[in-house]
Structure 1
Amino acid sequence: MAKYFDVHPENPQQRTISSVADSIRSGALVAYPTDSCYALGCQLGNRDGIGRIRTIRNLDERHHFTLVCRDFAQLGHFARIDNDVFRAIKAATPGGYTFILPATKEVPRQLLHPKKKTVGVRIPDHVVTQALLAALGEPLVSSTLLLPGEEEPLTLGWEIKERLDHVVDAVVDSGDCGTEPTTVVDFSGGEAEIVRRGTGDPGRFA
């Protein structure tokens, strides 16, 4: 049965956030809110958690997981960014974008695209997510909480608790969450390619 954490959306309770971070460090798979929609997240290197995300979402090996980072210093540890790309990404974050970039050696193999050796990264603009990332001290391995056969992600904490009670370890609920995932921009070829249109304005990279 999943733990349920009720978190204030504007002033997250530090004790609660610390408890969520401790759970993640102990191997928990967590459903948590972001500035786009709910996501499934686990600790970097948690092979079991990553496998469970694949199972819940019915994902194949080509799926790009996302490293949800607190800031640019953290993001730059896991993705290689040249100066032009850096400026473009810097101007658009934090916000509703996921960027596909060449991965550094710090990224575990199971998170890499099998052929391109790329990884998805993002910096969210969400108080609760940022508080959790600060407490954790490292990125969250994440994927949008979109279940197989459904057109929209789950958005309500209590519903996620009911439906995924036996397949996730914790649910973080901070109220309403959006239904639209991030805009995905692939910079791995040097030029911006819009892979998915979502919350972030794709015109910025058109």
Structure 2
Amino acid sequence: METKRFSIQDIDAAAAAIRGGQLVAFPTETVYGLGADATNVDAVKKVYAAKGRPSDNPLIVHVAHPEMVAQYAEVSPEAATLMKAFWPGPLTIILPIKPHALAPEVTGGLQTAAFRLPDNSATRRLIETAGVPLVGPSANTSGKPSPTTADHVLHDLNDKIAGVLDDGPTTVGVESTVIDMTVNPPAILRPGAIDAAMLEPIIGPVQTEAHHVAASEVPKAPGMKYKHYAPNAQVIVVAPTDFVAALRDYQSRTEHVGILATDEILAQLPPELATFSLGHDVRTAAQALFAGLRYFDNHPNVQFVLAQVFPTVGLGSAYMNRLLKAAGGARFDSGRV
């Protein structure tokens, strides 16, 4: 199957492909999603097959407007308040579904589902034109860094899907916050650009302690159970003050070391290194993180990628959540060398 690159002018054709049971990747403000008709079981199964995704990993349902959610789920007053405050935007809300409203292939067999209204006008038009909500896991090979450009999608899924709607690079760069509104107090299951400090003035206390998903347990949200975001090289998480020592340590093992850091850090290091800039602050770092991890996959000699730490505050919590998953928790310990 030849994968088409749809432009904004091709939304009608992209929507027709969706209605025909095909897969079309779409842009959001966070990452590109792999779209399929959420009401078409066969189409949803194609998503798992294209990604190589475990079937008990539930899918987020993307809608064109808040009213679409009520067709499939019970929307509490608190959830409606969140939708009014943060939609369209990078907030995914887990709600109890109505009986038989969504197939088990969408929900992982749970009686809950996650819903999101993306802050991308082209994708909202796509959903509206298709006339159905779209499942939308990240449009990448399962376990690899999420795609933040249409080129990333084509790198992983070319010839596996019908097309990708290209609306340029994403702006946030890390996936949406996921909040579970089926528990009391509500719980953040995946950190994102919208944090507890932004949610609590609207709905009251929010649980932020990470829940460990057992091997036999079906996760309520993506990113909770399986390996994510890993490039081919081993990622090592490094504090900003430790880069010189970390570089010396890892260059004693191999000459093939890459650096993923802000411009301020890169200016302190030898210019001949393989590097990727995270810009100047946590906002630009979150935008660039997945692109940086993918960059080093195009440098197959690089064995270690030293990646910069940010404080786990606000967007930094989402950035560090993804970075630590990519690293498998591996950190540079300056006291060890």
TM tier, shorter chain? Answer: 0.7 to 0.9
- Partner Cα separation in structure 2 for residue 24 and residue 110 of structure 1: 17
Q: Distance in 2 between matches of 1:154 and 1:82?
A: 33
2:176 equivalent to 1:182: yes
The equivalent residue for 1:32 is 26
- Quick check: 1:61–1:113 contact (8 Å CA) kept in 2? yes
Would the aligned equivalents of 2:93 and 2:179 in 1 still touch at CA under 8 Å? yes
C-alpha separation in 2, matches of 1:148 and 1:138? 25
Structure 2 equivalent of residue 110 of structure 1: 105
Query: Aligned pair 1:135/2:129, yes or no?
Result: yes
**Secondary structure of residue in 2 paired with 1:99:** strand
Task: State the Cα distance separating 1:169 from its structure 2 match.
Answer: 1.1
Structure 2 runs not aligned, ≥5 long: 200-205, 207-337
* Correspondence list, 1:16-165, <5 A: 16-105=10-99, 106-114=101-109, 116-150=110-144, 152-165=145-158
Q: Note if 1:6 corresponds to 2:1.
A: no
Q: Secondary structure at the match of 2:136?
A: strand
Shift of 1:136: 1.4
Q: Are residues 191 and 174 of structure 1, via their aligned partners in 2, closer, same or farther at CA, if it must alter by over 3 Å?
A: same
Identity of aligned residues (%): 25
Q: Residues 77 and 191 (structure 1 numbering): CA distance in 2 closer, same or farther, change over 3 Å?
A: farther
- Bigger radius of gyration: 2
Structure with greater contact order relative to length (CA < 8 Å, sep ≥ 6): 1
Letter in 2 for 1:119: A
Deviation at 1:107, TM superposition (A): 1.6
Q: CA deviation at 1:118?
A: 0.5
**2:140–2:156 CA contact under 8 A, matched in 1:** no
Q: What is the distance in 1 between the residues matched to 2:180 and 2:53?
A: 19
Task: Provide the secondary structure at the position in 2 that maps to 1:143.
Answer: coil
Give the RMSD, CA atoms, in angstroms. Answer: 1.8
d(CA) in 1 for partners of 2:198, 2:14: 35
For residues 70-116 of structure 1, what are the alpha-carbon distances to aligned partners after superposition, in whole Å with 9 as ceiling and x for unaligned?
111101111112223322332221110111110113222322242x4
Report the counterpart of residue 10 of structure 1 in structure 2. none
**In structure 2, C-alpha distance between the alignment counterparts of 1:55 and 1:43, rounded to whole Å:** 15
* Residue aligning to 2:234: none
Q: How far did residue 190 of structure 1 move? A: 4.0
Q: How far apart in 2 are the matches of 1:54 and 1:203?
A: 34
Measured at CA, do residues 88 and 190 of structure 1 come closer, stay the same or move farther in structure 2, by a change above 3 Å? farther
**SS in structure 1 at match of 2:46:** helix
Measure the CA separation in 1 of the matches of 2:182 and 2:53. Answer: 21
> CA–CA distance in 2 between the matches of 1:80 and 1:37?
27
Preserved CA contact (<8 Å) 1:183 1:202: no
Alpha-carbon separation, structure 1, partners of 2:45 and 2:96: 22
Equivalent-residue separation in structure 1 for 2:108 and 2:157 (angstroms): 27
Question: Partners of 1:203 and 1:56 in 2: how far apart?
Answer: 37
CA distance in 1, matches of 2:52, 2:187: 25
Q: CA deviation at 1:6?
A: 2.2
Q: 2:48, 2:11 → 1: CA distance?
A: 25
